Amino acid sequence: MNRLKMPGTPWLILLLAALTAMLVPVPRTYAPQDRVFRVDASQFSFNPGVLAVNPGDRVTLELRSTDVVHGLYLDGYGLSVVADPGQTATLTFVADRPGSFRFRCSVPCGDIHPFMLGRLRVGPNWLLIRAMALIAITVVWSLVTGVTTKPRTQVAIV
Amino acid sequence: MNIDHDRRFDLTRVRWLAPLLRSRWPVVLGRAVTLAGFVFTILAGLLGTPIGGRNFAIIFVWIAWWTVLKLILMPVAGRSWCSVCPIPATSEWLQQGGILQRGKGVGLKLRWPRRLRGQWLQLGGFAVMGLFSAVLLTRPSATGGILLALLLGATGIGLVFERRAFCRHLCPIGGYIGWYEQLAPVAVRVRDRDVCRGCVEKACYQNCQWGIFPAALKDSFDCGMCMACIQTCPRDNMALWARSPSRESEEAARGEGAARRLDRAWFGLFMLACAPVYAAVMLGPWGSLTEAAYAIGTVAWLRYALAFLTITLGVGPGLFWLAARLGWLLGGRSGSAKRGAIHLSYALSPVGLAAWIAFTMSFAFANLSYVWPVISDPLGMGWNLLGTADWAWHPYLMNVTPLLQVVVLAGSLLWAALEVRRIATSRQALPVLAYASLLTAGMLWLLI
């Protein structure tokens, strides 16, 4: 217990716990598959709006525009495809980057075009899971150690 | 070094910065530039192309300015934007009868009604803007119209009421910036209070357009950082200080800070609840939700409006009050539950600011490249003034944005936890920290 009373020890514990949460390796063993999604694009949404695959999957997106020209740009992968009205355009790629990525319309299609978005989830969203662990660590650390910045007071409560 | 015994750094003593702070010209010139840009933005919004992504008004207000304000100006320089804000410029010049020199001026110069003081009207204004945000952010005529309304409103209010009544009590953006000013690393404050005690001229008050008494400042909610007090103090006793972002909460903890108020607390809780709602509407994969926010006047929009107001004004602040109340019960019911809740709401302000910053990162980085074509063709008339009109849209920093958002949001939760634990025991803090964690987790789920 004396060690815990050393100045800076609670901060060191927090730092180590946070680094563990952010850096601990996670299992990534998936059998790659071919996956085909047909995505309808219409002002101002993609349907389906959320796609889920496993890391390593070979993904084919068949983008079909139902009204005006729409595009699909995939964040993180930097890939894009454009579909003319009533036509289908195809984008094929290997989902080799795990995580959660937005895809967005890349061709101005109307007033709320900037908000025409969807999501591609490649395996579990480990960044989100790690961030949740970070939140839990922060709160538990704060409650257990009682570390704060000076001056400490009870002025608000008593 | 210009660090005083109270761990503040006097920026007014910095050799290269001092002339800029002591001269009226930087503010006058800055405001001339912003006013010209503001008028041009209104004209672009009302007369330019109706395509939002090609119109100067949409791109420069909601992508360029709004991003710079939230990611740079507010975290680094507090209310500095208010010093050059063009909206109250005309009313101020009319009130003082000139741009540089003070004359007789025009206007009734009435005092703002006591019952209308506080941040309630600003809260209402922000809520109304929130109801129409999907249209305001995308339709140039709507942006031009709201900017024109703000300009005319500020001028009209300035002709009836004294000084910056519009900024202090009505401007929604002023309220927004003012709430997060408490976390700013810079502030205008007096050097030595004893010097002010013998002052009879009160030049700082006489010259303060905001109608506050700078020598007695304890928070900067109503300080527009125009530097007039620094420039006019006959004893050179006002200064711009670099300080710890926790400075105001430290002073409150010592019992030396400004009174902590219910209207401001509610404003902060409202802003805290707005961030995840905006993230869901504007960055989520739910097209029907976005369309409902845009389709003003339809049944879907009415449902959206009802949900928006219920969540931001009721559910968000209500859950916080329940959490604070539970903490009060767990802590043995000591002290005033209401007063404790108000203080704890201030302590969560880092989480609110971070939520807005994280939301802005996703929105702004993806759309920042719209700026380049619009610089060359601000009205969408087919011009190519700087040769950038054909630069293609491309999102920036998409690979690192999620990690930056985790750092900002988790870091702000840690900051808020330190502030909460300063004023509450672990039992008292638990429910409020659970509420802050829920909000932070929700923002992360929506954003990354």
Is A113 close to B53, i.e. CB distance below 8 A? yes
Same domain, B226 and B305: no
Nearest Cα of chain A lies from the Cα of B213 at a distance, in angstroms, of: 26
Q: What values do phi and psi take at B89, rounded to 5?
A: -60, -50
Integer Cα distance of B229 and B206 in angstroms: 9
Q: Report residue A104 CA to chain centroid gap.
A: 14
> Nearest-CA neighbor of A148 among B348, B409, B416, B419?
B419
Residue A50 CB partners (closer than 8 Å, separation 6+): A118, A119, A121, B285
Task: Determine whether the interchain pair B433/A45 forms a contact, defined as Cβ–Cβ distance below 8 Å.
Answer: no
Chain-chain contact of A142 with B448 (C-beta, under 8 angstroms): no
Q: Where is the domain boundary, B253, B279, B302?
A: B253
Same domain, B272 and B391: yes
For residue B291, the tally of other CB atoms under 10 A from its CB is 21
Would you place residue A8 in the very low, low, confident or very high pLDDT band (cuts 50, 70, 90)? Answer: confident
- A-chain residues near B135 (CB < 8 A): 111
State the nearest Cα–Cα gap between A136 and chain B, in angstroms: 8
Full domain range(s) for residue B294: 260-448
Contacts of B277 in chain A (CB under 8 A): none
Q: What is the pLDDT of residue A156?
A: 46
Q: Spell out the domains of chain A, with CATH numbers in brackets.
A: 1-26+125-158 (no CATH), 34-123 (2.60.40.420)
Q: Which of A75, A144, A156 sits opposite B339 (nearest CB)?
A: A156
| Same domain for B381 and B239 | no
Q: Scanning every residue of chain B, which has its alpha carbon at the shortest distance from the alpha carbon of A148?
A: B418
* Residues B274 and B363 reside in one and the same domain: yes
Asked if residue B214 is part of any domain, the answer here is: yes
- Chain B closest CA to A19's CA: distance in Å? 12
- B267 & B410 share domain: yes
Å between A134 CA and nearest CA of chain B: 7
On whether both B367 and B234 belong to a single domain, the answer is: no
B429 lies in a domain?
yes
Dist. CA B20–CA A63, nearest whole Å: 56
| B52 to chain A: closest CA residue | A111
Chain A residues within an 8 Å CB radius of B359: none
pLDDT tens digits for chain B (448 residues)? 566 667 899 999 999 999 999 999 999 999 999 999 999 999 999 999 999 999 999 999 999 999 999 999 999 999 999 999 999 999 999 998 988 777 788 999 999 999 999 999 999 999 999 999 999 999 999 999 999 999 999 999 999 999 999 999 999 999 999 999 999 999 999 999 999 998 999 999 999 999 999 999 999 999 999 999 999 999 999 999 999 999 999 898 888 888 899 999 999 999 999 999 999 999 999 999 999 999 999 999 999 999 999 999 999 999 999 999 999 999 988 889 999 999 999 999 999 999 999 999 999 999 999 999 999 999 999 999 999 999 999 999 999 999 999 999 999 999 999 999 999 999 999 999 999 999 999 999 999 9
Domain end marker among B218, B233, B253: B253
Long-range contacts at B37-42 (CB < 8 A, ≥ 24 apart): B37/B86, B38/B86, B38/B87, B38/B147, B38/B151, B39/B86, B40/B378, B41/B143, B41/B144, B41/B147, B42/B144, B42/B147, B42/B148, B42/B151
Q: Angle of helix B426-447 relative to helix B401-423, nearest 10 degrees?
A: 170
Both B332 and B368 in a single domain? yes
Based on the fold, state whether residues B354 and B235 are members of the same structural domain. Answer: no
Interface test with B, best of A144, A157, A158 (most B CBs within 10 A): A157
Backbone angles phi, psi at B226, to 5 degrees: -80, -15
Which residue, among B65, B347, B26, B73, has the nearest Cα to B184 in the 3D structure?
B73
Q: Do B53 and A108 touch (CB under 8 A)?
A: yes
Say if CB B86 and CB B35 are below 8 A apart: yes
Q: What is the pLDDT of residues A59-69, one digit of tens each?
A: 999 999 999 99
Residues in chain B closer than 8 A to A135 (CB atoms): 410, 413, 437, 440-441, 444
| Number of domains making up chain B | 2
Q: Nearest-CA residue of chain A relative to B408?
A: A131
Mean per-residue pLDDT over chain A, rounded: 91
Q: Which A residues 61-80 touch B at CB under 8 Å?
A: 73, 75-76, 78
Of A128, A143, A149, the CB nearest to B444: A128
Quick one: average pLDDT of A113-139?
97
Domain boundary among B229, B253, B277: B253
Interface contact A153-B344, CB threshold 8 A: no
